Chains A and B, each alone.
Chain A
Amino acid sequence: MDYERSLDYKNPIPNSQKNPVAFLLIGLILVITGCGGVETSGNGRLDAIKARGSLTCGVDGKLPGFSYQDNAGKYAGIDVDVCRALAAALFNNPNKVEYRDLTSSERFAALASGEVDVLSRNTTRTLSRDAKGGNGLEFAPTIFFDGQGVMVPIASGITNLKGLAGKTICVENGTTTELNLADRFRELGVAYTPLKYQSGDQTFGAYLQGRCAAVTSDRSRLAAVKTSFPNPANHIILGDVLSKEPLGPVTVNNDSGISDALRWVIFATMQAEESGINSKNLKEKLAFAKANPNQADLRRFLGVEGDLGSQLGLAVDFVPRVIASVGNYGEIYDRNVGQGSRLKLERGLNRSYKDGGLIYSPPFR
């Protein structure tokens, strides 16, 4: 610092400012050569989040049940609860999250460039998105098992995919939906016209205006958006399921600090449901675990003994923090998309494996 100050004293105008072009060029080179190599390995991103004191989360922002702003302007939804859970694990405060609304075509670039730490935007897990040679993403556990569906106006009298022959179908640009649509109709040998828009607002807006005979997206999403239509009862989601859509949050490749933390925060909500721990009985369960040294599984899970949390770079008691702020998986589901919400979606595939569903957490040990 002293050296700099003495320089300032002798020469109040730095040399570089005398030649703006050279200054800019050198700056440009420094910036470009400097970037890219910072957060590629180890705990880079997780440490950066801790230092910053808040988590940046990319969400849809306009999808009821998954991520949207309620009347008070607060974000809510399953995707949002993932971010809140991670913030609770990191900072013991689920509100230390900054949200960024992203369209489906923007989302991967926003994640890759580091604009968001976690992308929690109902993203379908596929091989090419996971692979290094493809999009190069790191998928957290699936939080919602979905399938692609098609919605039509009841008045159209269309009851199945064949009924859409020669019709126009609205779809969002840059989604797996777009590809599944092409695949299924090619199999059926049915001709159709896909009309692609950049955002969900445009896609569903054009459908409501009657530009297309049908609109296609994940079935949960169709159900969610339908609730915001002027006359939800005039539209029906066809029985045909076009694809598997396992939706989950995503982080960048080669940064296991953040991806492991996210993965186990999600598993914690699933394990909590399996162990019968929810936000209401958490205190009793904690007291029970502390009082009973023979409850080894429960004690490890709740951080009463062992160091599972700190192995992840989180607090030892990250599980109780998460459950206290967002509840277990069943509570999250019911509150946002299940019977406690306007969407009223069945649990279906999203039941615990004990009830015949696909929700399963590896052991906490």
Chain B
Amino acid sequence: MIKILATPLIQVPWWRNNRKVGWLLQAAFGLFLLIAIALLLANLERNLARAGMRLTLGWMSQPAGFDIAETLLPYKASDSYGRALLAGLINTLRVVISGLILATGLGVVVGAASFSANPLLRGITRIYVELVRNIPLLLQLVFWYFAVFLSLPPADQALHLPGLQLAKSGIYLFGARLINGELEGGLRLSLELAALLTGLVIYSAAFIAEVVRGGIASVPKGQWEAAESLGLQPIQILRLVVLPQALRVIVPGLNSQYISLAKNSSLAVAIGYPDLYAVAETTLNQTGRGIEVFLLLLLIYLVLNLLISAAMNAINRLVRLQER
């Protein structure tokens, strides 16, 4: 007995030590990955050198020489490629930001309406969601642009709605007047932007409505009944009792919908809206700098979506259940 107790702990050989083997495998895999990446880069470099091309961003300061239909950032053809791309990025941000706000508004309304006591309203929300969700977005955009917006009358026969005039040359808010056969003044929205926003918002809102519906459904029925027994109106119940609890389920789901919307905005190129991707395509064609332009595009969309994700995570921390 004594002899057995005194026996020192058996030395486990290193190849049977789970921790050591784990570390070794990790290190080997890391090394393998590094070699793989280095090989890929060296290969890219070698092939580019053979083609007489070097990765450079010098072309970005060259004059672009092409015009862009609409920009928030002042831009003219003699400006640089870099500025053209920046103007395109700002056009993209313009669509993404206004799209996020409008799609959220519409999505929340539709999602909440799917709990309405009115069967007609409930039916309409179901039809809307199922119809929009199951048709490809590209098809919808082309439909909105070529079939709907391009069918508007010319400027001198514009459709007049209160505070709004619709014509082939654009959508005019706040009282534009007809001068020499052209509508002028007021706030003009181009048909391309209008069609893109309409298509994106209607498409994304259907998905957001489903997220909102799921969130509201997650609130126990007892909460509705308790609020009702306190004498609250349906809208009050939603605003004061249900939505605050539903938000913790809704916000994480919204995150991926928002990222989708940002990525989908690049379909603008199909309907003539000069977003970042459209400008990049022209740039790529004129400069022949395919790798640089695409790396730049990848990086910009990646950063944009990481920012959206970070913002949504911050909001998520605010609304989540406080656990003590």
Residues of A that sit less than 8 Å from B by CB: 25, 29, 32-33, 36-37, 40, 104-105, 108-109, 112, 128-129, 132-136, 166, 168, 173-175, 178-179, 181-183, 185-186, 192-198, 202, 205-206, 209-211, 253
**Contact between A128 and B286 (Cβ–Cβ < 8 Å)?**
yes
Kindly provide the distance from the CB of B135 to the nearest chain A CB, expressed in whole angstroms.
20
Taken together as a complex, chains A and B put the C-alpha atoms of A364 and B23 apart, in Å, by 72
**Contact between B282 and A178 (Cβ–Cβ < 8 Å)?**
yes
Taken together as a complex, chains A and B put the C-alpha atoms of A168 and B68 apart, in Å, by 11
**8 further A-B pairs in the complex, CB-CB below 8 A; given A29-B40, A186-B77, A197-B271:** A109-B290, A132-B53, A173-B278, A175-B285, A181-B67, A182-B77, A193-B67, A195-B272
**Contact between A179 and B281 (Cβ–Cβ < 8 Å)?**
no
Chain B residues with CB under 8 A of A173: 269, 278, 281-282, 285
By beta carbon, the residue of chain B nearest A211 is B150
Give 8 CB contacts A-B under 8 Å: A40-B51, A136-B51, A173-B269, A173-B285, A178-B66, A192-B67, A196-B272, A253-B51
Chain B residues with CB under 8 A of A133: 52-53, 288
B30 within 8 A of A: no
By beta carbon, the residue of chain B nearest A199 is B270
B36 within 8 A of A: yes
By beta carbon, the residue of chain B nearest A25 is B36
Chain B residues with CB under 8 A of A109: 290
Q: Is the interface of B mostly helix, strand, loop or mixed?
A: helix
Q: Is the interface of A mostly helix, strand, loop or mixed?
A: mixed
| Of A40, A128, A186, A196, the contact of B274 (CB 8 Å cutoff) | A196
**Contact between A174 and B285 (Cβ–Cβ < 8 Å)?**
yes
B281-294: CB near A (< 8 Å → 1, else 0) gives 11011111010000
| Of B65, B274, B288, the contact of A179 (CB 8 Å cutoff) | B65
How many A-B contacts are there with CB distance less than 8 Å? 110
Chain B residues with CB under 8 A of A168: 69, 169
Chain A residues with CB under 8 A of B210: none
By beta carbon, the residue of chain A nearest B77 is A182
Kindly provide the distance from the CB of B151 to the nearest chain A CB, expressed in whole angstroms.
7
B133 within 8 A of A: no
Chain A residues with CB under 8 A of B290: 109, 112
B47 within 8 A of A: yes
How many residues does chain B have at the interface if contact means C-beta atoms less than 8 Å apart?
41
By beta carbon, the residue of chain A nearest B168 is A210
By beta carbon, the residue of chain B nearest A40 is B50
| Of A33, A166, A195, the contact of B39 (CB 8 Å cutoff) | A33
Kindly provide the distance from the CB of A205 to the nearest chain B CB, expressed in whole angstroms.
7
Looking at B146, B269, B286, the one whose CB has the most chain A CB atoms below 10 A away is B286
| Of B68, B271, B285, the contact of A108 (CB 8 Å cutoff) | B285
B225 within 8 A of A: no
Taken together as a complex, chains A and B put the C-alpha atoms of A209 and B142 apart, in Å, by 14
Chain A residues with CB under 8 A of B32: 25
Chain A residues with CB under 8 A of B69: 168, 193-196
B191 within 8 A of A: yes
**Contact between B288 and A210 (Cβ–Cβ < 8 Å)?**
no
Taken together as a complex, chains A and B put the C-alpha atoms of A195 and B168 apart, in Å, by 13
Taken together as a complex, chains A and B put the C-alpha atoms of A109 and B36 apart, in Å, by 26
Chain A residues with CB under 8 A of B286: 128, 174, 179
**Contact between A128 and B43 (Cβ–Cβ < 8 Å)?**
no
Kindly provide the distance from the CB of B63 to the nearest chain A CB, expressed in whole angstroms.
10
**Contact between A37 and B51 (Cβ–Cβ < 8 Å)?**
no
Q: Which 6 A-B pairs have the closest CB atoms?
A: A174-B285, A36-B47, A135-B288, A209-B150, A182-B77, A132-B52
**Contact between B52 and A211 (Cβ–Cβ < 8 Å)?**
no
Taken together as a complex, chains A and B put the C-alpha atoms of A183 and B286 apart, in Å, by 14
Chain A residues with CB under 8 A of B169: 168
**Contact between B40 and A32 (Cβ–Cβ < 8 Å)?**
yes
**Contact between A186 and B39 (Cβ–Cβ < 8 Å)?**
no
**Contact between B281 and A174 (Cβ–Cβ < 8 Å)?**
yes
Taken together as a complex, chains A and B put the C-alpha atoms of A192 and B68 apart, in Å, by 10
Given contacts A133-B52, A134-B288, whether A29 and B168 have CB atoms under 8 Å apart is no
Taken together as a complex, chains A and B put the C-alpha atoms of A192 and B67 apart, in Å, by 9
Kindly provide the distance from the CB of B75 to the nearest chain A CB, expressed in whole angstroms.
12
